[in-house]
């Protein structure tokens, strides 16, 4: 007769091991709660791809990967961490351990849940984008920039990430041009000034209509948003940084309130409309910054601890 495996019980389960999730784990563990962090990938998520940060307190310059490794080491001193284990379902019950968290490997019970599920790169939906993904089209300068030293590439986007990655690619020796659909960048002035100082060319009021090539990317067709004119430009690579799509699928399962863009709506204590469920980081409404996610992680872990104490 097969013995039924008993599910492990936790006070707090954190889904997502990015900067916010790891910070929540540090705070939750130090408060004495039994805490588990689960991530479908390696800890850090897309934060591992950040080539350089100059605005994280305490570090003049640090890569996302280096900072994640420091945070991961600190978090695992205070709680459990399961990497490469995707959460597929969360079931809410009326029991003391009111949430059953199911993964591809196992199931766990928890009194509360913190959603730190993050986001993924938004695509252009241009012709040829899917066809040439990994063949000249990339969403990660840190991952793929090395292969484009001395080659002509474009960086598509106008926010902080796009300009940071353009500078990184320039430093690797790539001949990078920034393409942005608006008439000015949304990035911080500090980054815009660095782009000018580095002599990186920019093409404003332009969108990528098509990515062309044979086996690899050979050119892009750009559309002038003011005149409608099309021009074909020879390039070896297209790097894309045009925002992120929130991973709010689990929130939808729990009937958590979302805004019109799919981001989770939270209050100042990081609480959602579902009791004992909290949310932090890029999956939430708010500023998409590493330090913000960390702050939200601390708030959510403290809120969960206080709510469990008062239940």
Q: Average of pLDDT values for 151-180?
A: 96
Tokens 């590439």 belong to 153
Q: Residue 2 pLDDT more than 70?
A: no
Judge whether 15 and 116 are in contact, CB under 8 Å.
yes
> Any catalytic annotation for residue 106?
no
Task: Render 43-84 in DSSP notation, one character per residue.
Answer: TTGGGGG---BS-STT-SSB-HHHHHHHHHHHHTTTSEEE-S
The pair of three-digit structure tokens given for residue 7, joined into one six-digit string: 């599910």
| pLDDT single digits (tens) 59-75 | 998 999 999 999 999 99
Kindly report the backbone phi and psi dihedral angles of residue 29, in degrees, each rounded to the nearest multiple of 5, phi listed first. -65, -40
Measure the CA–CA gap between 101 and 25, rounded to whole angstroms: 17
Percent of the chain with pLDDT over 90: 85
- Sheet with 206-213: strands ordered across: 206-213, 217-224, 230-234
Distance between start and end Cα atoms, the chain: 39
Cβ neighbours around 230 below 10 Å, total:
11
Among residues 140, 152, 224, 307, the one annotated as catalytic is: 140
Is 60 exceeded by the pLDDT of residue 4? no
Over residues 69-124, the pLDDT tens digits come to: 999 999 999 999 999 999 999 999 989 999 999 999 999 999 999 999 999 889 99
State the catalytic residue, choosing from 11, 144, 282, 294.
Answer: 144
Catalytic one of 143, 183, 257, 259: 143
140 belongs to the catalytic site: yes
Which residues, at least 6 apart from 56, have a Cβ–Cβ distance to it below 8 Å?
A: 62, 67, 290, 291
Which tokens sit at 283?
Answer: 């999956």
Residue 297 has pLDDT above 90, yes or no: yes
pLDDT at 263 over 90: yes
Please provide the size of the chain in residues: 311
Average pLDDT of the chain, as a whole number: 94
Q: Which H/E stretch holds residue 42? A: none
CB 120 within 8 A of CB 247: yes
| Distance (Å, whole) CA 95 – CA 304 | 17
pLDDT band at 289, cuts 50/70/90?
Answer: confident
Is 152 a known active-site residue?
Answer: no
How do strand 152-156 and strand 175-179 relate by DSSP bridges?
Answer: parallel
Hey, how many other C-beta atoms are within 10 angstroms of the C-beta on 272?
Answer: 23
* Residue 265 CA to its chain's centroid (Å): 17
| Least trusted range by pLDDT, from 31-35, 60-64, 146-150, 221-225 | 60-64
β-sheet bridge partners, residue 36: 13, 80
Three-state SS at 216? coil
The span from the CA of 96 to the CA of 125, in Å, is 46
CA–centroid distance for 7 within its chain:
30
């Amino acid at each position: 007769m097969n013995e039924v495996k008993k599910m492990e019980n936790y006070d707090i389960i954190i889904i997502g091991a990015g900067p916010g999730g790891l910070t929540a784990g540090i705070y939750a563990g130090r408060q004495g709660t039994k805490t588990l962090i689960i991530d479908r990938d390696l800890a850090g998520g897309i934060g591992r791809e950040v080539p350089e940060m100059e605005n994280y307190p305490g570090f003049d310059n640090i890569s996302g990967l280096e900072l994640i490794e420091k945070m991961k080491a600190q978090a695992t001193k205070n709680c459990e961490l399961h990497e490469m284990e995707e959460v597929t379902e969360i079931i809410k019950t009326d029991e003391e351990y009111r949430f059953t968290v199911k993964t591809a490997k196992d199931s766990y019970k928890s009194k509360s849940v913190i959603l730190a599920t993050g986001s993924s790169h938004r695509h252009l939906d241009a012709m040829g984008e899917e066809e040439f993904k990994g063949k000249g089209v990339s969403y990660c300068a840190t991952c793929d920039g090395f292969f484009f030293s001395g080659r002509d590439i474009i960086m598509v986007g106008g926010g902080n990430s796009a300009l940071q990655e353009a500078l990184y690619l320039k430093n690797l020796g790539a001949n990078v041009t920034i393409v942005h659909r608006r008439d000015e960048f949304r990035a911080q002035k500090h980054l815009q000034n660095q782009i000018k100082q580095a002599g990186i060319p920019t093409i404003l009021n332009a969108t990528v209509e098509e990515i062309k090539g044979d086996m690899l990317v050979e050119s892009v067709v750009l559309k002038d948003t003011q005149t409608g004119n099309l021009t074909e430009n020879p390039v070896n690579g297209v790097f894309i940084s045009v925002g992120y799509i929130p991973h709010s699928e689990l929130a939808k399962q729990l009937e958590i309130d979302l805004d019109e863009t799919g981001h989770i709506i939270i209050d100042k204590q990081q609480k959602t409309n579902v009791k004992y469920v909290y949310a932090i980081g890029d999956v939430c409404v708010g500023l998409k910054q590493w330090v913000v996610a960390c702050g939200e992680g601390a708030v959510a872990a403290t809120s969960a601890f206080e709510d469990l104490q008062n239940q």
